Amino acid sequence: MVAQPIKFYQTGSFAVGNRLLPPEQRSVQAAPDRANALTCGHRACQGCGEALGARYVVDAALRASGRQLIAVNATGCLEVFSTPYPETAWQLPWMHSLFANAPAVATGVAAALRAQGRTDVRVLGQGGDGGTVDIGFACLSGMFERNDDVLYVCYDNEAYMNTGVQRSGATPPAARTATTQAVGPEPGNVFGQGKNVPLIAMAHEIPYVATATVAELRDLEAKVEYAMSLQGARYLHVLVPCPLGWGSSSADTIRLARLAKESGLFPVFEAERGVITGVSKIRRRVPVDDYLRLQGRYAHLFGAEPRPDVVARLQGCADRNIQRFGLLDDEMEESGEVRQ
Ligand SMILES: Cc1ncc(C[n+]2csc(CCOP(=O)(O)OP(=O)(O)O)c2C)c(N)n1
Ligand code: SF4
Ligand SMILES: [Mg+2]
């Protein structure tokens, strides 16, 4: 019989395709003994990318650490929807820090473990983009500088969702939030502000920095697994669409995460000690329109008074990422292929 290679789509889903793979290659979520660390009973919105991302990350980190893991969680949606007092949806030792200090609390946990000689127990810090790139940033930078043995994960939904969708330093240009209204000549969030924390993390030359999305489960799990094999400060920045804040359909969460990557707006890459070591190439390039039109936060760009000039500026941001991170393979670059 002629051998049939397993196609990507047969292994991309954890429901069916993983059964075609040898056990060691199956995703964590496909394993019957997965930890189910974020279990039923939480109150996240339907289609919440953050709940999905956290589930992938924490289960993968638990497996990689032999279930010897302590999580520290900044204030934000993930903390609020998972732990309405006196209940918890977490199936691991889990601590709620303040909004601003999750990296510092994680550092303290790691230091306490070190003092006790407990090298077997690992530490995971996690928070939203507001808690990470804005209010918790000083603590995060300190954690990087000291090279504390913590994997810190930022679940980036591009605004302060828990308190009603206010702009953060990770909110993209032109997006409407409660504090960046779609009014005036430059509606929504302004261009040229905010910050790119994966690049800032790289500048600290820590052992590992990576970005990922909830659209690529295997990539996300592999990055967590690799990060857990290293010691010192590690940073993972995961794009997690938020139907409530983005004004998108709950059914479009994975699609939006994929379009963010395939348009070039969200570059997916890995870096070690300040040097980029891997880039997830765009498989099928799409114009930014495909991504923007699915979201109410960009509706002002396509309404009664459309703003093609603003869309063109956003396309410029995507093009710059594509150039800067080398997101196209050579063939696609030569043909200039973009699906219209
Ligand atoms: C010092 C302080 N300021 C403000 C708040 C109120 N607060 C709680 S969660 C939150 C927003 C969280 O945003 P983000 O970190 O992006 O997480 P998300 O809810 O979007 O997942 C704010 C402003 C707080 N708890 N503590
Ligand atoms: S507001 Fe957004 S981040 Fe918060 S639970 Fe709902 S979908 Fe998730
Ligand atoms: Mg947020």
> What pTM, to 2 d.p., does this model score?
0.95
- Pocket lined around ligand 2, Cβ cut-off 6 Å: 44-45, 48, 50, 77, 81, 157, 161, 242-245
Handedness of CA 289, 197, 68, 230 (dihedral sign): positive
Write down the pLDDT at residue 145: 98
88 in any annotated domain: yes
91 DSSP assignment: S
Nearest to 176 by CA among 263, 292, 78: 292
pLDDT by residue, tens only, the chain of 340 residues: 677 776 666 665 555 456 677 777 788 988 888 899 999 789 999 999 999 999 999 999 999 999 999 999 999 999 999 999 899 999 999 999 999 999 999 999 999 999 999 999 999 999 999 999 999 999 999 999 999 999 999 999 999 999 999 999 999 999 999 999 999 999 999 999 999 999 999 999 999 999 999 999 889 999 999 999 999 999 999 999 999 999 999 999 999 999 999 999 999 999 999 999 999 999 999 999 999 999 999 999 999 999 999 999 999 999 999 999 999 987 666 666 665 4
297 DSSP assignment: G
180 in any annotated domain: yes
Write down the pLDDT at residue 40: 79
The atom of ligand 1 lying closest to the CA of 132 is 15
CB atoms within 10 A of CB 41: 10
Give the separation between CA 140 and CA 145, rounded to whole angstroms. Answer: 9
Mutate to test the pocket of ligand 2, among 242, 253, 256 (most ligand atoms within 8 A of CB): 242
Residue 87: both structure tokens together:
């209940």
The residues near 174 (Cβ < 8 Å, ≥ 6 apart) are 186, 187, 188, 189, 191, 298, 301, 310, 313, 314
57 in any annotated domain: yes
Write down the pLDDT at residue 10: 63
The atom of ligand 2 lying closest to the CA of 46 is 7
The atom of ligand 2 lying closest to the CA of 45 is 6
Mutate to test the pocket of ligand 1, among 83, 129, 157, 162 (most ligand atoms within 8 A of CB): 162
Shortest-distance Cα residue to atom 22 of ligand 1? 163
- Residue 53 sits in a domain whose CATH number is 3.40.50.970
Write down the pLDDT at residue 338: 60
Nearest to 270 by CA among 224, 325, 211, 219: 211
Give the separation between CA 229 and CA 320, rounded to whole angstroms. Answer: 33
Residue 202: both structure tokens together:
């790289």
Structural domain total, the chain: 1
Cβ of 77 closer than 6 Å to ligand 1, yes or no, is yes
Q: In terms of residue numbers, what domain contains 198?
A: 29-335
Shortest-distance Cα residue to atom 5 of ligand 1? 99
22 in any annotated domain: no
193 in any annotated domain: yes
For 239, the 3-state DSSP assignment is strand
Shortest-distance Cα residue to atom 24 of ligand 1? 99
Give the separation between CA 127 and CA 118, rounded to whole angstroms. Answer: 25
CA of 283 to the centre of ligand 1 (A): 35
Partners of 126 in beta bridges: 73, 153
Which helix or strand (DSSP H or E) is residue 258 part of?
helix 253-263
Shortest-distance Cα residue to atom 4 of ligand 2? 77
The atom of ligand 1 lying closest to the CA of 78 is 21
21 in any annotated domain: no
Nearest to 196 by CA among 159, 232, 161, 171: 171
276 in any annotated domain: yes
CA of 297 to the centre of ligand 3 (A): 14
Q: Which ligand is nearest to the CA of 134?
A: 1
241 in any annotated domain: yes
The backbone torsions φ and ψ at residue 178, rounded to the nearest 5 degrees and listed phi first, read -65, -25
